[in-house]
């Protein structure tokens, strides 16, 4: 249920509404826009159906939310959400944000070299995995806290914000100490225990679409995070599993435009995982920008042949620079900047 308040509503009236509805067992989530203040209510359906919220002073209109995802929906918030990261980096505004770096943090010197290259090309966020969810238990699982320290130190050295994956609720506090954005990978999109705990953290979160997840399932997973208090959520389209075997995944460009219609949350496109082939990454990136995404996540490595993971989909620094040059032209054509 969404309650739109009158333009001249007072803070006293707002607090009165919140107190009354709390007594009814409803949880309130306030969105203060430029023109209107909106309150989204979550609670038992029978209470929402029979409670006449229109009677409260300051209420202009009450609208039932038809979508299963309440807080994530455009019905709850008309304006685009902007997530602020690090030293003023804004995700969801007019400027596109590029996250780039190695799939896995391997050592300090390689990470420094890659960070310098992506910074020069125009990226503002350094990506790198310290905990790696691998298909085989015998493959490299990441450096753990050592990798987090390298990521954090290099990010600070080059003035880059950082993003890395968290896989276990027990690691949330540890990752929060080092990273600016917590990434929830595709395999954990429906790890509801992890989603709930991430929702209690006051730090930006990027939620990747599950390997075979529908858009509705993806948005419902984001709803778990918002419902537990964390509104700084970024979505990431990283390709889904289809019958096609020529590419690692099928990058769903449709999802970008559709999510923008259904939700106020910013969306990032990851063409590295979306295609799994380095020679297709630039095309996927340009398509994502043309479709209206708010940023890109790109894997970059100075020697992909020797990368511990995902070398086949990693761009060399010079290829990344070339991609960025092309992406800037596409961004300009759709009235965006990088």
230 and 260 together in one domain: yes
CA–CA separation, 153 vs 299, rounded Å? 19
Q: For the domain that residue 26 is a member of, what is the CATH number?
A: 3.30.70.1140
- Based on the domain organization, do 223 and 313 belong to the same domain? yes
Q: Is residue 98 part of a domain?
A: yes
246 shares a domain with 108: yes
Q: Does residue 233 form part of some domain?
A: yes
Considering the domain architecture, whether residues 17 and 147 belong to the same structural domain is answered as: no
pLDDT at residue 77, as a whole number: 86
H or E segment to which residue 28 belongs: strand 27-32
Q: Tell me the C-alpha distance between 285 and 283, whole Å.
A: 5
pLDDT (tens digit per residue) in 185-221: 999 999 999 999 999 999 999 999 999 999 999 999 9
User: Which pLDDT band, with edges at 50, 70 and 90, does 87 fall under?
Assistant: confident
Q: Is residue 73 part of a domain?
A: no
Determine the average pLDDT of the residues in 86-98: 94
Average pLDDT of the residues of the chain: 92
Instruction: Measure the CA–CA gap between 223 and 228, rounded to whole angstroms.
Output: 8
335: left (phi over 0), alpha (psi -120 to 50) or beta: left
Asked whether residue 251 falls in the same domain as residue 111, the answer is yes
Decide if 101 contacts 299 (C-beta within 8 A).
yes
Least confident of 73-77, 91-95, 183-187, 204-208: 73-77
Residue 294: which pLDDT band, with cuts at 50, 70 and 90? very high
Residue 167 has pLDDT above 70, yes or no: yes
CATH code for position 136: 3.20.20.70
Domain that holds residue 24: 2-63
Question: pLDDT tens, 26-62?
Answer: 888 888 877 788 888 877 767 766 778 888 899 998 8
Q: Among 178, 163, 179, which residue's Cα sits nearest to residue 268?
A: 163
In this structure, the answer to whether residues 58 and 201 fall within a common structural domain is no
Q: Which residue has the tokens 């994956």?
A: 165
**For position 174, what pLDDT does the model report?**
95
Kindly report the pTM of this predicted structure.
0.87
pLDDT of the residue at 245: 94
Residue at 94 is within a domain: yes
Provide the pLDDT for residue 134.
Answer: 64
Regarding whether 274 and 312 lie in a shared domain, the answer is yes
What is the CA angle 255-258-263, rounded to 5? 110
Total domains in the fold of the chain: 2
**For the residues 67-76, what does the mean pLDDT come to?**
86
The more confidently predicted of residues 45 and 323 is 323
């Amino acid at each position: 249920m969404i309650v739109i308040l009158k333009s001249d509503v007072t803070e006293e009236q707002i607090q009165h509404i919140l107190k009354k509805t709390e007594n009814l067992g409803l949880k309130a989530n306030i969105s203060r826009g430029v023109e209107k203040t909106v309150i989204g209510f979550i609670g038992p359906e029978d209470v929402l159906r029979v409670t006449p919220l229109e009677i409260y002073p300051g209420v202009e209109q009450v609208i039932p939310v038809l979508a299963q995802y309440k807080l994530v929906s455009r019905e709850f918030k008309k304006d685009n959400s902007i997530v602020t990261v690090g030293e003023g980096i804004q995700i969801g505004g007019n400027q596109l944000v590029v996250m780039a770096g190695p799939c896995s943090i391997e050592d300090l010197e390689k990470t420094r070299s890659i960070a310098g290259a992506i910074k020069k090309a125009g990226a503002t966020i350094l990506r790198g995995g310290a905990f790696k969810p691998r298909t085989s238990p015998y493959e490299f699982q990441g450096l753990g806290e050592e990798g987090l320290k390298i990521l954090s130190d290099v990010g600070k050295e080059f003035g880059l914000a950082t993003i890395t994956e968290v896989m276990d609720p027990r690691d949330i506090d540890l990752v929060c100490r080092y990273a600016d954005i917590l990434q929830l990978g595709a395999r954990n999109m429906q790890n509801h225990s992890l989603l709930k705990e991430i929702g209690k953290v006051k730090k930006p979160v990027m939620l990747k679409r599950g390997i075979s997840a529908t858009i509705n399932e993806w948005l419902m997973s984001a709803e778990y995070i918002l419902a537990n208090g964390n509104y700084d959520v970024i979505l990431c389209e990283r390709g889904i599993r289809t019958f096609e075997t020529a590419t690692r995944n099928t990058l769903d460009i449709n999802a970008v435009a559709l999510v923008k219609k259904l939700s106020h949350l910013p969306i990032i496109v990851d063409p590295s995982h979306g295609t799994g082939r380095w020679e297709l990454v630039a095309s996927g990136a340009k398509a994502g920008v043309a479709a209206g995404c708010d940023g890109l996540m790109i894997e970059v490595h100075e020697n992909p042949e020797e990368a511990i993971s995902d070398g086949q989909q990693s761009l060399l620094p010079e290829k990344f620079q070339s991609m960025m040059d092309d992406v800037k032209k596409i961004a300009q054509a759709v009235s965006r900047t990088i």
